[in-house]
Amino acid sequence: MPDHRELQERAFEANRAIVRAGLVVLTFGNVSCVDRAEGVISIKPSGVAYEDLRPDEMAVIDLETGDVVAGGRRPSSDTPTHRVLYRRFADVGGIVHTHSPAATAWAQAGRDLPCLGTTHADHFRGAVPVTRALVSEEIRGSYEELTGEVIVETFESRGLEPLETPAVLVASHGPLAWGADVGRAVENAVALETVAGLALQTFALKADVASLDDDLLERHFSRKHGPGAYYGQER
C-alpha cells in the first residue's frame, strides 16, 4: 500500500499556514495538494477545527474515483471542486479555498476583482474573474463538482491561463487560489486577500479609479513570472 504520509504532512502544514495568515475563522476553508504520480490528493477533513488537525488524519483521495484511500476522516465537502480543478488544470499542484473577508465580499457582489495597482500585477495577470451564478439545477445536483466545472468554464470562456491568473471568485460563495505547488497556492491566497482589501479601500477613496495601465501591469507581472523573470532568487 502506498505511503502518503509526506503528502498528508504537506497538506497539514498548508492548512496551518492559512490560519497563521488570518485567512480563516472557525472551519471556513481548506487546502489540498496533489501527488500526480500516485493519482491522489490530500485535503483537510470536513468540519474539523484547525487546532485539532493531525497529519495522519488528513484525508487522501483518489483523484479519479473520489474514493478515500487514507486518513480515516471524511474529506472536506469541497473535495469534488478540488478534484475537478486538478483534473482540468494540469499544472496546478495545490489549491486553497477560504472565506477571507475582502475576497469574499467581491465574490458576494458578483464582481471581478480589477487590477488597480502593481501589488495586484505582481501576482495576477489582470483581473481576478468572478464566475457566473450556478442555476437551480446545478445547485440541486452535484453542487460541489459543478462549482469546479463553472470555474473551468470561466477560465476557458475568457481565455485565461490558470497559473497566470491563479485565483477565482465563485459568485455568492468565496475565493479559491492555486499554484504550481501548495506553497505557492498559499502565497496566492494571501496575495488575493491583500489586493481585494486594497481594492475596496481604493474604491472608497476614488469611486471612478481606472484599472492599471497595461504596460505597467505586464512589466510587473513579467518581472516575477515567466522566462524573463528577474525578481527574487531562483527557486
The model's pLDDT over 20-67, given as tens digits with 9 standing for 90+, comes to: 999 998 888 999 999 999 999 999 999 888 888 899 999 999 999 999
- Residues 104-163: tens digit of each pLDDT: 999 999 999 999 999 999 999 999 999 999 999 999 999 999 999 999 999 999 999 999
Partner residues linked to 168 by β-bridges: 176
Q: What is the pLDDT of residue 30?
A: 95
Contacts 24+ apart (CB under 8 A), 1-6: 2/38, 2/40, 4/35, 4/38, 4/40, 4/42, 4/60, 4/69, 4/70, 5/55, 5/56
Confirm whether 215 is a catalytic residue.
no
Find the catalytic residue in 122, 143, 208, 230.
122
Provide the edge-to-edge strand list for the sheet that holds 68-70: 68-70, 59-62, 40-43, 29-35, 94-98, 174-179, 167-170
Instruction: Report d(CA 188, CA 224) in Å as an integer.
Output: 13
Q: How many CB atoms lie within 10 A of CB 93?
A: 21
Q: Which residue has the cell 493531525?
A: 54
Instruction: Report d(CA 122, CA 191) in Å as an integer.
Output: 9
pLDDT above 90 covers a percentage of the chain that reads 87
Confirm whether 231 is a catalytic residue.
yes
- Residues 129-141: tens digit of each pLDDT: 999 999 999 999 9
pTM score, whole prediction: 0.94
201, 162 contact by CB (below 8 A): no
Find the catalytic residue in 67, 91, 213, 231.
231
- ∠ CA(205), CA(190), CA(43), 5° rounding? 145
Grid cell at residue 180: 504550481
* The residue count for the chain: 235
Q: At what angle do helices 182-205 and 5-20 cross, to 10 degrees?
A: 20
Which amino acid is it at 184? R
